[in-house]
A and B are shown apart, each in its own frame.
Chain A
Amino acid sequence: MCRVLAWLRGPFASSSTGCCTAFVRVVSVGVVPSFPHFLFCRDPNVFDNSYKSSVQTIGLLFWFVASLYFCAIPEHGRTALWADDPPPTDGTTTGEPTPEETAPAIKTLAEMEVPPAELFLTGDVSLYRDWVILKSMQVLEVFPMSPRPRTLETRTQEYEAKIEAGRKLTGEKLQTWRAEMAVIKQFEFLDTTDPSKKFFIDLEEVEKFVHHEDLWLQRVELLLKEKNLDLAFELVTKFERTQPDWPGLKETKDKLLFADGSARLEAGELEPALMVFEEVFRSRKDFPNLGATAGRAADGIITEALAADDFRKARFFLDRLGVITTTDPVFQKHSATLSKRAIAVLDEARQLSVAGKHAEAADLADRAARIWPETPNLKGQYTPLVERYQRVRVGVDRFPGEPTAYPFATDADERHQRLTEISLFEIRDFRDGYPRMRSRFLDEWIPEDLGRTMRFTLRRTRQPWETQPVIQSWPIVKRIAERLRPEHPDYDERLASYIAGISIDSPFEFTVRFRRVPSRLETLALMTVVKAPENEVVPVPSAADSAEAPASSTVASTTVASATDEGAAVAAGTEVDGSFGESYPAGGFRRIESSDTVQVYQRVIAEPEQLRDYHVAEIQERKYLNAEAALHGLRAGEVCMLPGLPAWIIRRIESDKLMKEQYFIQKHAVPATHMVLFNPTKKVLKSRELRRALVYGLDRQGILDNILLREPAGSQGRVASGPFPHNSYAHGTGIEPRPFDPYASLALGLAARNSLGANKVIDGDLPRLRMIAPPDPVLRAAAQAMCKQWFRVGIDVELVPDDELTAFQDGKWDLLYRETHVVDPITELWPLMTMQSTARIDDLMTIPDWLKQELVDLDRTADPSRAVERVRKLHRFLWEEVAIIPLWELEEYTVYRKNIQGMSAHPVHSYDNLDNWVRSASLQATGL
């Protein structure tokens, strides 16, 4: 015991108390064998069992309390003063432990060595030791302490709280309190060499604890000094996995990253180095010397990019550097350089604008913004240039006219038509199932003589932003007359059956006399009257010319003398022969550039000078591999509008808060209707049983959910019961889609085989059917799924390859997957059924006579309400006859950046109301 005291007093002799400040009790394991075990054992079960089973433990506790009593904390706040052999607490202690057995290994702090990395990487966890640094700067190695980290702080707080709680206690409570205080006041350790022995250290004697985790991090820092980064990373990684929240880990990691970045910088790996510095910055913004070092890394890259005039790259890295520091000389230098170059380009753009070359000026302004958007006063100069010649970049996955086996117009073809042609009547809106029509050319069209004649009055003026010219009566009358002549390619048999004659009353008035009164003239007269010239450039008005022209002038003056007359003629509504190839008045948007990746459309009639506001002058369609790539392009700012996105991408955009803030998602008024049409010339498909077998064999809801919407029972599509949208006036009540019933399909397929065999249409099994599908990959996937489902019910259907271009013309098809928009079923149903562009009697040859008669009767019905009744009746007939297989209808959307304004609130098509669009200048939208 004396030796122990000597060991203790030695180091503590320097303490301010001048007396023994540590009290160590060492109890022989032999006296109470279970005691050390349960005291140091963290397993509560072991503790409980040992505790409950050992009466000796109680005795020891009694002894402990008694010793505390003798240690006698005379008053609150007083620390333990002495260490002495405690009096035996009970009769169980049989003897004193020898000093040799209880002496722990003790070293000074200077003697201590941080454990090697190997210990932490591969060593036994039981070898981990915490350091207890005493105030005498002596260090004890102990088993890992608990709680951790901040063991000392935690215990100190507990101690102080306990002192506070002990005030005014008396009696037994005071005694209990004293006993508890005695426990809290001391740290109890086991001897690492002999865990059966324990010793106590007073709280106040401990300077601090260094946990083995701290030692781990110290080892990392030592490795950093040694530049052994790999091992350091290995240590940190393992440490982070086990102790992600350990104090000091973040700082160590930052140091490690910075060291790594510096090493990469020295190795010439500039971009990786910058990336590492960015990570350090994200972790700690005030990391010493980070800005300068990152500047060194960025400097090399930016200099190289500027040398190659790759401003986008230079801007990109400068922006990244700017995130870390904007005060670094490197940043200052390069931003100044870029600003200077941007200003030079802007100056050039202004000069071009003054010269009337607005497209080129907008290009340069855009280029200036791309060089350095932070250029001082950039926006003020950039905005008028870009808004004078507004461009809208549209991301698409297909261009018009691309070869396909699909015989009808694709979405791309429809876009092209919308851009390059203007119809006499257009669908303005679609509400309550009815289309609302408008005309850009007509002031009014008034029925007279109970509708037998209609007087058309043409507009004599146009707004400067409109893309159509002012045209007189005769070009329109000519178009109508062409449709009345059987020998003309545009002959419209139906229109011809209605119109008895046309007379031109004045240059701006004409009258149509009807043989029969049509129920809806506007949809019948959806004829192109203005067309953009193909691949022919009409010069944009120059400033010099425009100076002479009034602001409200509708004449597109031209810079080229030869083109002036042409432009004037265009504006006056006269034909431009020869140069345009066709005798249509010129208007709309013409395609001026076409490549594999980009198609550019430009206003045929440019807006005049001196206007306050301008509108979209150019549409650039950029082709992407698929919708995902297009979406990426939208995010990257390469395009600002995406039409025809699939449902799941729309949902993704809707759920993306950032994108939703930046983009409008415009739902179209009319969903796309999908259906399967039958080849009318194939005898096998005249079997109603086979057609019904095909319907019942299709799990349309499944295909819709899994392939087209990728969402079960979503709101973006639904299974259809007819060729019209569900909200169309033609939709009959009570007609529900036929259910998926494979057994019925099997039965009907069998019945079809029997009947066709009996009629000698087939010999044996059904022939393999061929289906043409649109080129859209999603729709083709759906078509493929349909083929698989039919195969399961014994009907073999193959998909016609999209490169088999003549399959339709050669009649090598049986089924046709068609996607269309049925806006006015009364006029569109007939051509839809016959797969033609117009309603011709001859095309009804293959339709059953009774159904044919219904179509004819519908066509002859003049009363709109009766026509609606008839078309609803036809809906039921089509459903019962299975004249088509209605598949589903899909909602369509256009996503566009919010700086585009003027789009129709209920568009039927993505390019609706295009000439009234305004794209305000936005540096963000330039794809910076």
Chain B
Amino acid sequence: MNRSLPKRPQRMTFLVSLCLMLLLSGGSDWREDAVADDVTKSPSSNATAPSSSGATTPAAAPAATAAPASGTSTDDNKPKPPPKVVRPTIDVVPYQILVDIGISRTPEFGERFRERFLTDLTARIESRVGPLWQMTLRESEDLQPASSLLLQDLSDEQRRPPVNLPEIDQSYQLTLERDGGGYRLACQSWDVNSQTSTPMVSRTLYEPRQLADVAVEMLLSHFRPIAQIDTVSEDGKTVEFRIRGGELMPPDVAVAPFRVGDYLSPYYRYLDRKQQLQQIVHVGWTYLEVTEVNRGRMLANVISTFRSPLAGNRRRVELMGIAVKPQFQETTLVIYPRKERDNPLAGARVDVTDRRPTKEDAVPDRLTLLTDRRGQVQLPVDPGHLLRYLYIISGTTVLAQVPFIPGTDARVELEIPNDAARLTAEGQVELLEAELIETVARRAVLMARIRGLSNNDKWTEVDTLMEELGGLPLKKSFDVRLRAIQQTAVAIAQGNKDRVAVSRINKLCGALQEHIDKHLTDEKLNDFKAEMRQIRPKP
């Protein structure tokens, strides 16, 4: 199903893009082009749709509109046509990055140190990222007193870029403090487009000369490139992207936005008529695995628990994807039955695999976990297989199967159907089945013994055993009990409006009913009794 990207004159595209960039004097926000009219009317403070108006970024101040490349019209009599707005595609638009740095106010971190640290940081980032970022790096008073604890406690509002910098795409907060005999760096980021943040990560080091290098590594590890989905295949299993800044190749290849094997998390951006962001909807339990990258474009496979999770771009709806980068060693998955969030599912079996099981490959090397009393299970990050498949199993039934990349979040919740009624029925059916087997076996043995005794004309013993045989439960008794189990369980499932559970319960009971009908027929018993009556000598 993988598709190949269309072959294009890449070099030409790059040159054209570059020209456009030059014309745009440093490159404005790609979204700004799309909403140029609105932006000019109101320099919005909306962080989700930043404009370049009033932008004071030191790196660039992109123009809202592109001016004609050459002079003015020579024909003064004819009305001049309005200047044509050139909208650059997102693959040539760099990221506007704001890095706020908080350095602990200690004598060791003096003015000179600060300046040098910022300078080093800027130089190192530019040397690695190049045109991909247009960065504003500053020391922020909001991050004082600088500490990892402060970062951790920042709210989403505090993580967002300030309102006076609406053009910012991603903001980073970095703190530096002393940690005993060492130095602690802590970092986190906020992505404006997806309205998501990365968790705070800190590192302690003891060599001050490594501070700038480590800080850069941390900043880049929090960088999550985004891409816009151009097309979704008809079967919904592959998508084609346009990568933000994909054409702006960074000097360091490792910083390239996407590589084959990377994963993205899709989300919809709902805009209003004025192209203002109204809502962001993240597509849950869905990942996009990059299969091919060609500068600003790439192809990805859709991996989802849903059949067709992506509907493609529509009017006033943007389908985006943001890179998924595990930041934690593990993720806590909380499983709870539907409508019972306060009663998480304890003791539920969770199988974790690195691929979907098929008929040929049952994936025997699966990790089997049980949820604890709080319905939690810890999913560790496997660097070799970022994407894992989770199977929530109850009894003989798989309640849910979802793809998941552990480490992206500290805690994730998963709602599953309430299986209590079906599970209870399953237990009762199993017990009834065991009793059925016992009854059938005992009946068979008793019949054999009675036959043996009748052959030896021991009719007194035959009578005793016939009485015992008659005391064994009959088919009717099993039928009644099975029906009771079925009706009770189905009633509960219907009360929960769980059609799947109803179907499963009926299937479960139907299977046992077949066994009862097959192995415990009354005809056999009656025939045997008749046979005994026949061969019994008459008095």
A residues near B (Cβ < 8 Å) are 493-494, 497, 688-689, 692, 743-744, 746-748, 750-751, 755, 841-842, 844-845, 848-856, 859-860, 877, 880-881
Contact = CB atoms under 8 A, between A and B. Distances in A.
B370 A845 contact: yes
B437 A688 contact: yes
Interface string B415-440: 00000100110111011001101101
A734 to B, nearest CB: 16
Given A692-B434, A848-B430, A853-B347, A494 B373 contact: yes
Contacts of B442: 743-744, 747-748
A851 B427 contact: yes
Contacts of B444: 747
A849 B425 CA distance: 11
B434 A849 contact: no
Contacts of B431: 877, 880-881
17 contacts: A497-B373, A688-B437, A743-B445, A744-B445, A747-B444, A748-B442, A841-B371, A841-B372, A844-B370, A849-B426, A849-B427, A850-B395, A850-B423, A853-B420, A856-B373, A880-B434, A880-B435
A500 to B, nearest CB: 11
A860 B343 CA distance: 10
B21 interface: no
B346 interface: yes
Interface residues of B, number: 31
Contact of B427 (A497, A856, A877): A877
A783 B442 CA distance: 26
Contacts of A743: 442, 445-446, 449
A841 B344 CA distance: 14
A750 B441 contact: yes
B252 to A, nearest CB: 40
Given A689-B441, A751-B437, A842 B373 contact: no
A844 B370 CA distance: 9
A309 B446 CA distance: 76
Contacts of A751: 437-438, 440-441
Given A842-B370, A850-B426, A850-B427, 9 more contacts: A689-B438, A743-B442, A748-B437, A841-B373, A849-B394, A850-B428, A853-B347, A853-B424, A880-B434
Contacts of A854: 427
B215 to A, nearest CB: 32
Contacts of A845: 349, 368, 370
Given A747-B442, A750-B441, A850 B368 contact: no
Nearest to B349: A849
Contacts of A850: 395, 423-424, 426-428, 430
A853 B438 contact: no
B347 A844 contact: yes
Nearest to B444: A747
A175 to B, nearest CB: 75
> Helix, strand, loop or mixed for chain A's interface?
helix
Contacts of A746: 445
Contact of B374 (A497, A747, A748): A497
Contacts of A688: 430, 434, 437
> Helix, strand, loop or mixed for chain B's interface?
helix
Contact of A747 (B420, B423, B441): B441
B347 A852 contact: yes
A689 B373 contact: no
Give the one of A751, A844, A859 with max B CB within 10 A. A751
B423 A853 contact: yes
B441 A497 contact: no
B434 A744 contact: no
B373 A493 contact: yes
Q: Top 6 nearest A-B pairs by Cβ distance?
A: A850-B427, A747-B441, A497-B373, A747-B445, A688-B434, A849-B395
Contacts of A877: 427, 431
B346 A856 contact: yes
B347 A856 contact: yes
Contacts of A881: 430-431, 434
Contacts of B371: 841
B437 A841 contact: no
Contacts of A860: 346, 373
A497 B423 CA distance: 24
Contacts of A692: 434, 438
A689 B370 contact: no
A330 B312 CA distance: 121
B4 to A, nearest CB: 46
Contacts of B446: 743
A697 to B, nearest CB: 13
A497 B445 contact: no
A355 to B, nearest CB: 57
B436 to A, nearest CB: 11
Contacts of B372: 493, 497, 841
A696 to B, nearest CB: 9
Interface in B384-432: 393-395, 420, 423-424, 426-428, 430-431
A518 to B, nearest CB: 12
B230 to A, nearest CB: 46
Nearest to B449: A743
B370 to A, nearest CB: 5
A839 to B, nearest CB: 9
B349 to A, nearest CB: 7
A689 B430 CA distance: 12
Nearest to A515: B374
Contacts of A747: 438, 441-442, 444-445
Interface in B345-374: 346-347, 349, 368, 370-374
Nearest to B441: A747
A853 B437 CA distance: 25
Contacts of A750: 441
B189 to A, nearest CB: 31
A844 B446 CA distance: 38
Contacts of A748: 437-438, 441-442
Contacts of B395: 848-850
Contacts of A848: 395, 427, 430
Given A747-B442, A880-B431, A880-B434, A849 B423 contact: yes
Nearest to A842: B370
Nearest to A881: B431
A826 to B, nearest CB: 16
Nearest to B427: A850
Contacts of B440: 751
B492 to A, nearest CB: 14
A497 B395 CA distance: 24
A860 B340 CA distance: 14
A746 B441 CA distance: 9
Contacts of A842: 370
A345 B428 CA distance: 76
A851 B428 CA distance: 10
B442 to A, nearest CB: 5
B441 A744 contact: yes
A499 to B, nearest CB: 12
B329 to A, nearest CB: 15
A888 B290 CA distance: 65
Nearest to B369: A842
A744 B437 CA distance: 11
A93 to B, nearest CB: 77
Nearest to B426: A850
B395 to A, nearest CB: 4
A751 B435 CA distance: 12
Nearest to A741: B442
A746 B431 CA distance: 20
A755 B434 CA distance: 12
Give the one of A494, A497, A844, A850 with max B CB within 10 A. A850
Contacts of B420: 853
Contact of B370 (A744, A755, A841, A859): A841
A493 B437 CA distance: 38
B461 to A, nearest CB: 13
A493 B349 CA distance: 17
A844 B444 CA distance: 36
